[in-house]
């Protein structure tokens, strides 16, 4: 009986904590958006210098990995598609499949997952370490808001660079398909290019970018929230860093599902 009680008690507490986390993260996101878009009109300056540093760190430095991974993924989809389409002698439709899948789905998703692993975790670790060493407290006693000072530059940087990386991923992924088409499938460059151009609509490309913009907000907010939530020393930082990656990837895929449902039914 007491075991039963303990089990249900624990899951009840976990459930209650889940809602507490959701509420707190919503609050943090609200405050971050306020500090990004409303506070500048009240005379609080945005920290462009720090934002630029973060853009380089989150964006420029992940170009190689995003490039390589999206090339591989483009190639993989092309091969899997060709495997099926070859049965009907319709390998030219590889172009449609690769380009639409990359732009609508995999470009934004791969970029988000890579950025969550590379930079979301870095945000959590950085803010968490600052929390442990009382640097966050120090900011507050200097009348500097930690959200305005730390979270906004990172979120703003992500809002800009994640869509940019997504565009890059889209193009390189499609290039991966091209490479297979030209080498293995023996399709002509012009035919494949025309097929791609015909298959892709602006909306495919744009819905992907809309998604990636929101993924950027999710990743930066999860990272920051986990950072502020660090309890205890180095171990706490490690835990929060890991949690930030797991939670961001989960939320990114969940948001992806919602957006895809929305676009699927309306666009």
Partner 1 sequence: MTEPMIQIRNLQKSYGKRKILKGIDLDIYPKETLVILGRSGCGKSTLLRHLIGLNTPDEGNIIIKGVDITTASEEERNVILKRMGMLFQNGALFNSMTVGENVALPLMEHTPQDNSIIKIMTRMKLNLVGLSGFEDFAPSQLSGGMKKRAALARAIAMDPDILFCDEPSAGLDPIVAVGIDHLILKLKSALKMTIIVVTHEMASVNLIADRICLLHDGEIKFLGTKEEMRASVDPYVVQFLERQPDEDQLDPQNYLDELVAD
The three-point CA angle 179-180-181 to 5° equals 90
Q: Report, in Å, the least distance between residue 161 CB and partner 1.
A: 19
The nearer residue to partner 1, 10 or 184, going by C-beta atoms, is 10
Q: Give residues in contact with partner 1 (CB under 8 A).
A: 126, 129-130, 133-135, 137-138, 140-144
Q: Report, in Å, the least distance between residue 129 CB and partner 1.
A: 8
CA distances from 266 to 9, 101, 207 (A): 43, 18, 11
Non-local CB neighbours of 240 within 8 Å, separated by 6+ positions: 124, 125, 128, 226, 227, 229, 230
Whether residue 87 contacts residue 191, with contact meaning beta carbons closer than 8 Å, is answered with no
Q: Report, in Å, the least distance between residue 242 CB and partner 1.
A: 22
The backbone torsions φ and ψ at residue 229, rounded to the nearest 5 degrees and listed phi first, read -90, 0
The nearer residue to partner 1, 130 or 200, going by C-beta atoms, is 130
Q: Report, in Å, the least distance between residue 62 CB and partner 1.
A: 20
SS3 label, residue 94: helix
Q: Report, in Å, the least distance between residue 9 CB and partner 1.
A: 14
The nearer residue to partner 1, 40 or 68, going by C-beta atoms, is 40
The number of C-alpha atoms within 13 Å of 4 and in the hemisphere containing its C-beta is: 1
The nearer residue to partner 1, 102 or 224, going by C-beta atoms, is 224
The nearer residue to partner 1, 61 or 134, going by C-beta atoms, is 134
């Amino acid at each position: 009986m007491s075991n039963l009680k303990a089990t249900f008690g624990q899951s009840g507490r976990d459930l209650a904590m889940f809602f507490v986390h959701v509420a707190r993260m919503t609050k943090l996101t609200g405050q971050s958006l306020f500090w990004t878009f409303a506070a500048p009109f009240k005379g609080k300056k945005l920290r462009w210098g720090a934002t630029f540093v973060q853009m380089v760190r989150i964006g420029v430095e992940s170009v190689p990995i995003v490039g390589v991974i999206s090339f591989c993924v483009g190639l993989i989809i092309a091969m899997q598609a060709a495997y099926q389409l070859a049965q009907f002698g319709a390998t030219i439709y590889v172009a449609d499949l690769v380009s639409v899948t990359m732009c609508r789905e995999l470009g934004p998703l791969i970029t988000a997952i890579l950025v969550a692993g590379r930079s979301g975790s870095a945000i959590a670790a950085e803010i968490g370490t600052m929390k442990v060493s009382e640097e966050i407290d120090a900011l507050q006693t200097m009348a500097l808001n930690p959200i305005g000072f730390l979270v906004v530059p990172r979120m703003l940087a992500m809002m800009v660079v994640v869509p940019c990386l997504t565009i890059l991923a889209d193009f390189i992924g499609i290039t991966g398909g091209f490479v297979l088409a030209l080498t293995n499938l023996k399709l002509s460059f012009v035919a494949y290019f025309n097929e791609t151009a015909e298959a892709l609509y602006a909306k495919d490309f744009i819905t992907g970018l809309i998604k990636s913009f929101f993924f950027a907000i999710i990743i930066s907010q999860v990272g920051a929230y986990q950072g502020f939530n660090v309890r205890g020393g180095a171990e706490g930082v490690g835990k929060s860093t890991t949690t930030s990656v797991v939670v961001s990837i989960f939320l990114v895929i969940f948001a992806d599902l919602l957006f895809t449902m929305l676009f699927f039914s309306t666009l």
